[in-house]
């Protein structure tokens, strides 16, 4: 296990436990709210299981908070470390969630050929992609769009969507607009 993975599990586990304690809810109640099983939530908190990005989205939506609240190192306000999900994408927070704007920005790394499926995000969420390097496909609205370095797209992300890294993979900025005052 690499250093990034170790940091990630620690950070996510601590964030989940702290947020659940702040809300004053049990694991059972958290399971009801998020659709993630009580057993899985407990395993994440004890660092016995590595959550997928899909599971983290479920937790953030169920708790009514942005994704970055789970990924963010408490002591880190900018240039935070990347979170690498085993066999999946790597995520680095560029701008943590801004409550005034209702916006967070990540830098996402897709490996060559890597396919990443995302379920529908919370209603009204708009997503931006801006390709920093490499090339990728975006699957949304029943169409596939190829995006290369410097290209951008904005789309309604409250529907299933997917990304694929092309030959050399891709690094892209990914902004989530939850809406002003969402959380
Ligand atoms: Mn998405």
CATH number for the domain spanning 16: value is 1.10.260.40
Q: What is the pLDDT of residue 1?
A: 37
Residue 27 lies in domain? 11-71
The alpha carbon of 38 and the centre of ligand 1 are apart by a number of angstroms equal to 25
Q: What is the pLDDT of residue 135?
A: 98
Residue 79 lies in a domain: no
Residue 80 lies in a domain: no
Q: What is the pLDDT of residue 79?
A: 55
The alpha carbon of 167 and the centre of ligand 1 are apart by a number of angstroms equal to 21
Q: Are residues 107 and 161 in the same domain?
A: yes
Residue 84 lies in a domain: no
Q: Which of 71, 101, 121 is the last residue in one of the domains? A: 71
Q: Which residues of the chain have pLDDT under 70?
A: 1-9, 74-80
The alpha carbon of 162 and the centre of ligand 1 are apart by a number of angstroms equal to 8
Q: Are residues 66 and 96 in the same domain?
A: no
Q: What is the pLDDT of residue 9?
A: 54
Tokens of 4: 């990034």
Residue 1 lies in a domain: no
Q: What is the dihedral of CA 41, 45, 48, 50, to 10 degrees?
A: 70
Residue 31 lies in a domain: yes
The alpha carbon of 161 and the centre of ligand 1 are apart by a number of angstroms equal to 7
Q: Are residues 94 and 65 in the same domain?
A: no
Contact in structure between 88 and 52 (CB atoms under 8 Å): yes
Question: How many angstroms separate the CA atoms of 156 and 123, rounded?
Answer: 9
The alpha carbon of 178 and the centre of ligand 1 are apart by a number of angstroms equal to 12
Q: Are residues 137 and 110 in the same domain?
A: yes
Number of independent structural domains in the chain: 2
Q: What is the pLDDT of residue 45?
A: 95
Residue 149's alpha-carbon distances to 95, 106, 109, 168, 170, in angstroms, are 21, 17, 13, 11, 8
Residue 161 lies in a domain: yes
């Amino acid at each position: 296990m690499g250093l990034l993975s170790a940091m990630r599990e620690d950070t996510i586990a601590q964030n989940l436990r702290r947020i659940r304690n702040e809300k004053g809810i049990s694991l059972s109640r958290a399971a009801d709210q998020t659709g993630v099983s009580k057993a899985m939530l407990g395993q994440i908190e004890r660092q016995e299981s590595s959550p997928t990005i899909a599971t983290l989205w479920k937790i953030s939506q169920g708790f009514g908070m942005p994704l970055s609240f789970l990924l963010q190192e408490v002591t880190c306000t900018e240039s935070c470390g990347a979170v690498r999900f085993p066999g999946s994408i790597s995520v680095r927070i560029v701008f943590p969630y801004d409550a005034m704007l209702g916006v967070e920005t990540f830098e996402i790394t897709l490996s060559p050929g890597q396919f990443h499926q995302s379920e529908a995000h919370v209603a009204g969420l708009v997503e931006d992609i801006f390709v920093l390097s490499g090339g990728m496909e975006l699957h949304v609205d029943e169409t596939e769009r190829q995006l290369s370095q410097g290209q951008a797209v904005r789309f309604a992300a409250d529907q299933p969507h997917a990304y694929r890294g092309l030959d050399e993979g891709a690094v892209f900025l990914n902004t989530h607009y939850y809406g002003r005052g969402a959380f």
